[in-house]
Structure 1
Amino acid sequence: MQEKIKIALVDDHTLFRSGLASLLSEFEEITIAFEATNGIDLQAKIKHHEDIQLILMDINMPIMDGFTATKWMKVNYPAIYILALSMFEDEKSIINMIKAGANGYMLKESKSTELLVAIKTMIEKGFYINELVSGRLLVSMKNNDSKDTLTEKELVFLQHCSTELTYKEIASLMNVSPRTVDNYRESLFAKLNLKSRTGLVVYGIKNNLIKI
């Protein structure tokens, strides 16, 4: 019999958390080790469950939010995967969670079957991110050849993508026109087979092209 994946749920909304726990308990592949209401609660409970493999982490929580909790986990328990959960497809939040060390991202309104796929994918491949980026991102992360084809300007643009600057502000900073920045973006999308700014940042971080 296949060993169950041990996970933890960290979310301050009791109804959502218990509902999620109930849904996930239907899958025989998963066992929920514990639930926590925020990052501080997680810090206290993780000491007794150091064998868990993955945490479903809410982003917006009181006392200690998902960003801070994820950074703490990556310092103290780097082997445990973090799957960020959010109500909104907010690109800034996703990028910040990835920069904090999250291994993947899911929307809270995703189906339970999609969540199961995300959990299994993360355990197997080390990374998962909704449908914001193409499935081939996982392949490109393991293959660094494509970075050799990026121009110096594209690499600079890629670095700026991880900030909160708008594309227009990036253009101003690089002393080029907004149209030129659009060209850098479209060129990277084509070369790396991606389709979002989040995808570019994830690729850059995973291939050490972006300094955090």
Structure 2
Amino acid sequence: MHQRVIKIAIVDDHTLFRNGVARMMDEFNELDVLFEAGNGQELQQRLQRHELPDVVLMDINMPVMDGYEATLWLKANYPQVKVLALSMYEEDKAVLKMIRNGASGYVLKEASPLNLLDAIITVDLKGVFINELVSGKLMHSAQHKHDDIRLTGKETEFLRLCCSELTYKEIADLMFVSPRTVDNYRESLFLKLSLKSRSGLILYAIREEIFKMPV
């Protein structure tokens, strides 16, 4: 059971959405909404005047300073603060960039208040939130190591390389295999891990410590 109250901040340039999320999250006893900000620059200003949040809900596309830059700055200056990216769509490219910049996962903006609460608690406790990216099998066993899943050496190597900015074609070249073989590794991992996107593979690799996030 999660005991302590988690301090959060919400960074989004859409005022109505941001206010709505703040009000909904304030309803939960588990959370304390410290402040809101309209972009990364406002976040920097608010941090000078407020207590440090445990988790920041970070929109990706914002004016002045977007979520990518703000997350990079936050992880460089306050690495203990966890970032949950807020996304309108399940876009691998945007999510991958946020993860590489230090985000611990992402939540779709259409998520229910309870799902968002679950994401915040999960990322606070475990450091990574993967639920939006996976299907039932991995969600069901998210608290356990996957001892029953056996990855080949090549699959593990492919998984690590997935965490880079390389394209699948570049990964194939680096592994000295054909693009078709890399496609097979990817489809095999999707099947074994019940995943559906490259973002899911990356977050799985981080959670299982196959890939270490740079500190």
* Partner Cα separation in structure 1 for residue 170 and residue 80 of structure 2: 37
In structure 2, the CA distance between the partners of 1:138 and 1:97, relative to structure 1 (3 Å rule), is farther
5+ unaligned residues in a row in structure 1: which ranges?
none
TM-score normalised over the length of structure 1? 0.82
Q: Which amino acid aligns with 2:211?
A: L
CA distance in 2, matches of 1:78, 1:91: 24
CA shift in 2, pair 1:147/1:43, >3 Å: farther
Query: Do the aligned residues in 2 keep the contact of 1:159 with 1:211 (CA within 8 Å)?
Result: no
For residues 52 and 165 of structure 1, do their structure 2 counterparts lie closer, same or farther at Cα, with a shift above 3 Å needed?
closer
- Quote the offset at 1:79 in angstroms: 1.1
TM-superposed deviation, 1:108? 0.5
Q: Distance in 1 between matches of 2:56 and 2:182?
A: 37
Q: How does 1:85-104 map to 2 (within 5 A)?
A: 85-104=86-105
CA contact (8 A) 2:149 2:192 kept: no
**Residue 139 of structure 1 aligns to which amino acid in structure 2?**
H
- SS at the partner of 1:131? helix
- Does the CA contact (< 8 Å) of 2:106 and 2:132 recur in 1? no
Matched-pair contact (CA < 8 Å) for 2:130–2:203: no
Check if 1:139 corresponds to 2:141: no
- The reply on whether 1:28 has 2:29 as its aligned counterpart is yes
Quick one: percent identity of the two aligned structures? 54
TM-score by length of 2: 0.81
CA distance in 2: counterparts of 1:67 and 1:183, whole angstroms:
31
How many residue pairs end up in the alignment? 207
DSSP-derived class of the 1:8 partner: strand
Counterpart residue number, 1:73: 74
Q: Are the equivalent residues in 2 in contact too, given 1:137–1:203 (CA < 8 A)?
A: no
How far apart are the structure 2 equivalents of 1:86 and 1:14? 16
Deviations 1:111-154 (A, max 9, x none): 111101111112222221333123245534xx7x8999542x43
Q: Are the structure 2 counterparts of residues 128 and 178 from structure 1 closer, same or farther at C-alpha, using a change threshold of 3 Å? A: same
Q: Which stretch shifts more, 26-35 or 174-183?
A: 174-183
